[in-house]
């Protein structure tokens, strides 16, 4: 199996989806951009929906890698935030169009729900690690922590749509604004060096 061609199809699809949106791009556009025949593309993927599902799996895999406790503990929480937002930017078409994509594809909708459930579990695990490492304060009120976790997920899945619709010059600036809102949300729960890093980043934002 030619994995290089399969990977090229995915990489090209990301570029086109990010630039033009999913609806505007067909498998013929992807094949043309790669200078291959549509038949060659269909040998690897049956349709555009299959490409989208594969890209979603790839995005989830890259996200889970960042969230591994051992990996995240080696970097500062600020670096952890940066790494997550780089993934958001890489797959930004998902964050712009996920609602409509899920409505059109039952399989993607199911994968989305599983991903959200897993992210909630990963948040709890990582939070416990950061408390143990002296990076965050322990919050014993379960309802408050659930609010924080849900707020973070809501921000992560909708911020790009909001900021790109309000920014005069949308682009990576929207990513920086998203990071600022996440760090502000987490700031009251941070201590020590982590709090200092978050405050430094927030204060460097020219929009504030």
For the chain, domains (ranges, CATH) are 1-46 (1.10.10.60), 49-203 (1.10.357.10)
Q: With bands split at pLDDT 50, 70 and 90, how would you rate the model's confidence at 71? A: low
Cα→Cα distances 69→45, 73, 127, 141, Å = 34, 6, 9, 23
pLDDT of 170 higher than 70: no
pLDDT tens across 90-110, in order?
Answer: 999 999 999 999 999 999 999
- Spell out the residues 6+ positions from residue 161 whose beta carbon is closer than 8 angstroms to its own: 95, 96
CB contact at 8 A, 135 and 77: yes
Percent of the chain at pLDDT > 90 equals 75
Q: Can you give the length of the chain in residues?
A: 208
> What is the structure's pLDDT at 81?
94
Report how far residue 30's alpha carbon sits from residue 47's, in angstroms, rounded to the nearest whole number. 11
Task: Using the structure block, give the residue that is written with the tokens 């995240």.
Answer: 72
- Partnered with residue 136 across adjacent β-strands are 190
Q: With bands split at pLDDT 50, 70 and 90, how would you rate the model's confidence at 27? A: very high
Percent of the chain at pLDDT > 70 equals 93
Q: With bands split at pLDDT 50, 70 and 90, how would you rate the model's confidence at 164? A: confident
Task: Using the structure block, give the residue that is written with the tokens 């990301």.
Answer: 14
Report how far residue 128's alpha carbon sits from residue 93's, in angstroms, rounded to the nearest whole number. 32
Q: What is the mean predicted confidence (pLDDT) over 40-51?
A: 96
Q: What is the mean predicted confidence (pLDDT) over 171-199?
A: 93
């Amino acid at each position: 199996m030619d994995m290089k061609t399969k990977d090229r199809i995915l990489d090209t699809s990301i570029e086109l989806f990010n630039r033009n949106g999913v609806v505007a791009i067909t498998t013929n556009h992807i094949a043309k951009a790669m200078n291959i025949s549509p038949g060659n593309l269909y040998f690897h993927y049956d349709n555009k929906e299959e490409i989208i599902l594969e890209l979603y799996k790839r995005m989830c895999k890259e996200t889970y890698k960042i969230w591994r406790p051992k990996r995240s503990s080696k970097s500062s929480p600020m670096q952890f935030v940066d790494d997550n937002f780089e993934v958001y930017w890489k797959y930004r078409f998902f964050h712009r169009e996920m609602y409509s994509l899920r409505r059109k594809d039952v399989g993607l909708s199911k994968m989305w729900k599983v991903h959200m459930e897993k992210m909630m579990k990963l948040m709890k695990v990582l939070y416990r690690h950061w408390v143990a490492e002296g990076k965050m304060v322990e919050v014993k009120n379960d309802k408050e922590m659930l609010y924080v976790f849900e707020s973070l997920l809501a921000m992560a899945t909708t911020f790009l749509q909001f900021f790109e619709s309000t920014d005069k010059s949308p682009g990576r600036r929207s990513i920086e604004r998203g990071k600022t809102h996440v760090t502000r949300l987490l700031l009251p729960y941070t201590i020590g060096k982590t709090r200092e890093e978050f405050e430094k980043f927030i204060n460097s934002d020219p929009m504030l």
